[in-house]
Amino acid sequence: MIGLIATSLEYSRSLQLQASIQAAADAAVLAASNASANLNASVTYSTGSGNDGGTATASGREAVARNFFNSSIGKSASMIKSSTFSYDSSAGTVTANITASQPLTIGGRWGASINLHVASTSAVKSAPVRTLDVVMCIDSTGSMTPTLSAVQTNALNFKANLDAALAALGVPTFDQMRTRIIYYRDYGGYGVYNYLWPGYYNFTGAALGDSTVMSSGGFYNLPTDVNSFNSFVYTQTAWGGGDLPESGLECLNEAMHSSWTKVGDTLSNGKTAQLVFPVIAIFTDAGAHPPSFSYSLQNPSYPASTYMPRDYTGLLANWNSGSLIDQTNKMILFYGNPDIQDDYYFGNTSGWSTVKTWSGFQNPGSLTSANTSFVSSLASGIAHGVNTPQLTH
């Protein structure tokens, strides 16, 4: 009778251990079968009865499975005798094989331990087809030569360098990358400020702004269109402006009306887009006139109200319109100071201070950082908005 009770207790303990190992093995192969599991995976794990902790970082599906198993097994780690994790690329599966040995306590007279074997297999999930569209709104008034030069310097190798910078931040390569650039100046301004004597000044110059306010093309599919992209950016020079604020909100509105890739679109490689990442990146050292700025409205070339809203509510409605831009992963990356005064002499608040309250807005770096490290600054903002799966436990 005592022997039967002891055997029953040992068997029950072994079933509990086997269940905990099975759960850890299942979690490990599921993690490794994730579409992004070939990225570096960092996990915190605990082992042994002393619950001593550590961290491990490795790459590849087998390493991801091992790290995740170690993070899940806890105090049972001392009973694990062997653990193998294998990725079969032809079959598209990740498999775990674990052996363990549980020492007997009450039933020790019938043997030293109970040996266990656990196996688990998971099919690798297909990576979703991901696209990245980047529209750059670049202030091209007289003070912005360093930014225009930074774009020109990086044009020919833009995709390769951005891919590398994103990969370093844990973002896998997109199935399609397109970029569009809109250079903007000013539809209308106060003109040039002339200091006369303390307390007295006047403005001279055309109130209706610059002769060419926006220069833009369509999307360039990189690297296929890299030569056309390079030719376009090398024709641009910094000039114009006059007063400090510029027509940045008009450029933002133009960017929102871009021909963005939508979920379900067929890409040039024949794949169907499943995840789209629309990004508007703004580079400026100035504020933005409000959407109803009187001098801008006097310009005969100013966009019609049916296209360019006359208030912030209308602009925000465009940003939140699913018919214009996919809402799931949209981003505005602002390189500059969104709180800059739009006119030094009058102290008015820039239109950017309103835009910064919108969903998806980020201020990942200064204009100086973008000028000196253009691609890496852009990559840091994109990576922050792309929710890459991370293995943590």
Distances (CA, A) of 127 to 67, 204, 392: 21, 59, 20
For domain 130-385, the question of CATH label 3.30.499.10 is answered with no
Rounded to whole angstroms, the Cα distance separating 71 from 58 reads 13
Rounded to whole angstroms, the Cα distance separating 282 from 240 reads 18
Per-domain boundaries in the chain: 2-123, 130-385
State the average pLDDT over residues 207-217: 84
What type of residue sits at position 284? T
Report pLDDT for 378.
Answer: 96
Report pLDDT for 67.
Answer: 87
For the cut 50, the answer to whether the pLDDT of residue 130 exceeds it is: yes
Q: Residue 44: pLDDT band by 50, 70, 90 thresholds?
A: very low
DSSP, residue by residue, 10-59: HHHHHHHHHHHHHHHHHHHHHHHTSTTTTS-EEEEEEETTTTEEEEEEE-
- Residues 66, 72, 74: CA angle, nearest 5 degrees: 115
Q: Residue 262: pLDDT band by 50, 70, 90 thresholds?
A: very high
Rounded to whole angstroms, the Cα distance separating 150 from 363 reads 19
Rounded to whole angstroms, the Cα distance separating 263 from 240 reads 39
Question: Among 143-157, 181-195, 207-221, which range has the highest average pLDDT?
Answer: 143-157
- Global pTM? 0.71
Report pLDDT for 37.
Answer: 55
Rounded to whole angstroms, the Cα distance separating 92 from 31 reads 14
Q: Residue 49: pLDDT band by 50, 70, 90 thresholds?
A: very low
Distances (CA, A) of 58 to 37, 46, 351: 10, 17, 46
Report pLDDT for 36.
Answer: 61
For the cut 50, the answer to whether the pLDDT of residue 52 exceeds it is: no
- Residues 169, 170, 171: CA angle, nearest 5 degrees: 100
